[in-house]
Amino acid sequence: MLSNILNKVGNTPLVSLKIESLPNIKVFAKLEFYNPTGSVKDRAACYILNRGLNEGIINKNSVIIESSSGNFGVALSAYAKLHGLRFICVIDKNTLPVNEMLIKLQGAEIIKITEPDEYGGYLLNRINKIKTLLKERQDLYWVNQYENPLNAQAYYSSLGKEICLEAPGQKVEYVFMGVSSGGTITGVSRRVKKENPNAKIIAVDIYGSVIFGGKAKKRYIPGIGSSMTPTILDEAFIDDVVMVSEYETIIACKKLLEKYSLYAGGSSGSVYAGINKYFKELNIDHPVNVMCVFADRGERYIETIFNEKWCERIKPYTEDAAIIHG
């Protein structure tokens, strides 16, 4: 019996996905939407606050602050509440109403940025707001997922470890992950390469994200991609990058539901599309274990990916390189 559902982070199910056109590609997906608040970000939120409290980086009087418009904000609001900590979540005017509601109902204070930055997005202004507040107040602890090494350590010690232990025969040959703050891929890649030095780590990113040097373009699907390159990624081991479009992501999310009964979110679709795209180009003549991370569930995308009308505006986009070899 659990004293609180939030204590059930990690040890998510691993499910096998057969792709008929790629019989040698044995895909195994970690279903991170089985974490308590519904995403992979529970691992980072829980770990960072626990380490912070245990090591005196924060205390009961600290006020946690972070810029997040999605899963991390939802997760941090839950774990901050669990510890009786105040949490300020800096969101923007594009934040999904469902996420804002979840963050608010878990007691977080919300600061909403409405002025776009020089790139037409809100990320830089969200971060500038935090920097201004940090100058004014002494009680704030900025989680700073893009730079905080604890973000990557969370995934090194939990998700990375589970992937290594649960792969059939404990043999990890490929790992595919979506990238946004870079915490997941940095931690998981370091753990996997330590235990399986020949494993290949494949980052999946979305056209319009600048993380791997692509051109900035308006993106609509949250949770994957970024309009800046996260510093934390300097420590990641990445062999190749697969770029997918939002169009491919939508088709893949629907396929996951139709074919495997997996109601998964945007980056899971991107990862599934990325696996298909990557191995279509390679001639793999023996069975290989391909581990992947499905970061969140489909409900949060009911008004976007799973809404036919909304999808009409997303056109195929394939003008740039699809695979960037490391």
Ligand X SMILES: Cc1ncc(COP(=O)(O)O)c(C=O)c1O
Q: Contact residues for ligand X (CB under 6 A)?
A: 39, 41, 70-72, 178-185, 223-224, 265, 267, 295-296
Identify which of residues 250 and 288 has a Cβ nearer to ligand X in the complex. Answer: 250
Can you tell me which residue has the tokens 């909304």? 310
Cβ-based burial of 136 (10 A; exposed 0-12, middle 13-18, buried ≥19)? exposed
Identify which of residues 106 and 288 has a Cβ nearer to ligand X in the complex. Answer: 106
For residue 2, count other CB atoms closer than 10 A to its CB.
8
Separation between Cα atoms, residue 187 and residue 164, nearest integer Å: 12
Q: How far is the CB of 185 from ligand X (least distance, A)?
A: 6
Question: Phi/psi at 134 (nearest 5 deg)?
Answer: -65, -35
Q: How far is the CB of 68 from ligand X (least distance, A)?
A: 7
Q: How far is the CB of 24 from ligand X (least distance, A)?
A: 27
Q: How far is the CB of 29 from ligand X (least distance, A)?
A: 13
Cβ-based burial of 153 (10 A; exposed 0-12, middle 13-18, buried ≥19)? buried
Q: How far is the CB of 27 from ligand X (least distance, A)?
A: 17
38 token code pair: 């519904």
The angle that helices 159-166 and 149-157 make with each other, rounded to 10 degrees, is 30
Identify which of residues 288 and 294 has a Cβ nearer to ligand X in the complex. Answer: 294
105: Cβ contacts below 8 Å, ≥ 6 apart: none
Identify which of residues 153 and 288 has a Cβ nearer to ligand X in the complex. Answer: 153
Q: How far is the CB of 216 from ligand X (least distance, A)?
A: 18
Identify which of residues 180 and 245 has a Cβ nearer to ligand X in the complex. Answer: 180
Q: How far is the CB of 154 from ligand X (least distance, A)?
A: 9
Residue nearest to ligand X (CB): 223
For residue 261, count other CB atoms closer than 10 A to its CB.
8
Identify which of residues 160 and 223 has a Cβ nearer to ligand X in the complex. Answer: 223
Q: How far is the CB of 294 from ligand X (least distance, A)?
A: 9
Identify which of residues 180 and 196 has a Cβ nearer to ligand X in the complex. Answer: 180
SS (H, E, C) 241-296: EEEECHHHHHHHHHHHHHHHCCCECHHHHHHHHHHHHHHHCCCCCCCEEEEEEECE
Residue type, position 261, single letter = S
Identify which of residues 39 and 276 has a Cβ nearer to ligand X in the complex. Answer: 39
Instruction: Give the residue among 132, 190, 133, 124 at the shortest CA–CA distance from 163.
Output: 190
